[in-house]
Amino acid sequence: MFSKSILNWYNENKRDLPWRGKPEAYFVWLSEIMLQQTRVAQGLPYYLRFVEEFPTVHDLAEASQEKVLKLWQGLGYYSRARNLHDTAKVVSANFGGVFPNKYKDLKKLKGVGDYTASAIASIVYQEPVAVVDGNVYRVLSRFFGVETPINSTEGVKQFKALATKMLATKSPGLYNQAIMEFGALHCKPKNPQCVTCPVQSNCIAFQQNKVGELPVKLKKQKVRERFFNFLVFQDAKGQMLLQKRVEKDIWQHLYQFPLIESKHNLTLAEIKKTALLDNEKKVLQSIKRWNEKPIKHVLSHQKIWATFWCMAVKKLPENIQNTQQIANKQELMEFAVPVLMEKFINFKNG
């Protein structure tokens, strides 16, 4: 009864999204990777740009990583973009551009976990495997009154088993889309539409007035605070120095201005004493703090306080490293950079 009610609701309320209709593995995979931890409204424009630029998995595989990261710029979680590109290469080279048609084989692809593999296998190939995303956790925890934390090992197993039990095996792809859509549009985190809910009469959370308490989630890990000082070296021609982030950290393979990370917000006097400026003192003409107060930039488990220091120099280094680039204001727009830097660049170019 539950599955049938959810399917009926979906038939009447589903959104018209470009990867639905007659689903193809490439487009479903692309949409699922992009929409992880991202709202449809935010992710849709990116999806449309990607499809226009890379209409097939072969096109995506042949693109440079820089181009992929530039198109991804602003979506965050850049490891998803790097894994996306790597998987496209594998599917293009090893499978002739055709995605595996079994859940267990899809899971072997880089960046494809239980959820994405289940989505592709069920929606495209009609394999009866249940998807479990944030929306499904919420719907099932409320309907069945499950208080096991959804981000615990026990919870992950319990909800996967429950989702599998409720799966409409005759139309698994349709049902999986239906329950995810129901969670996104109707059984929402805040202000769910309980009054018009088609399964309200059997919903334990509604009956026990626990809708706002479910699902249960273990406390988040402690937020790490970081202090970034970007050094914007600029010569008389308007050229600037960029540095590629190569460490296994946030924004890997994106470009930024040379960076000093500190344990607190640095003063002008402290900036002048940093080792990074030692080699530049002969050509340094002036230092100016661009933002009076540090800019707060919040990531999932990190809070960054950023300050941009504008450094006028007589000339930029002639022998730059292979991880560095020199670019003028216009060329700067072509590099994949963190959103924090993108805002600075757009302001300076505006």
For 242, the enclosing helix (H) or strand (E) is strand 240-244
171: amino acid identity, one letter: S
- Active site members: 32
* Residue whose tokens read 């018009």: 196
The tokens for 218 are 């273990």
* Residue whose tokens read 């991880």: 323
**Based on the number of CB atoms within 10 Å of its own CB, is 216 exposed (0-12), middle (13-18) or buried (19 or more)?**
middle
* Local structure of residue 56 (DSSP, 8 states): S
In this structure, are strands 302-313 and 295-298 parallel, antiparallel, or unpaired?
antiparallel
> Of 89, 103, 80, which Cα lies nearest the Cα of 32?
80
Dist CA 27 CA 295 (whole Å): 37
The tokens for 128 are 């009866």
Helical residues (DSSP H) of the chain, grouped into ranges: 2-13, 25-34, 40-53, 57-62, 65-72, 78-94, 103-106, 114-123, 134-144, 153-166, 172-185, 204-207, 268-272, 329-332, 339-349
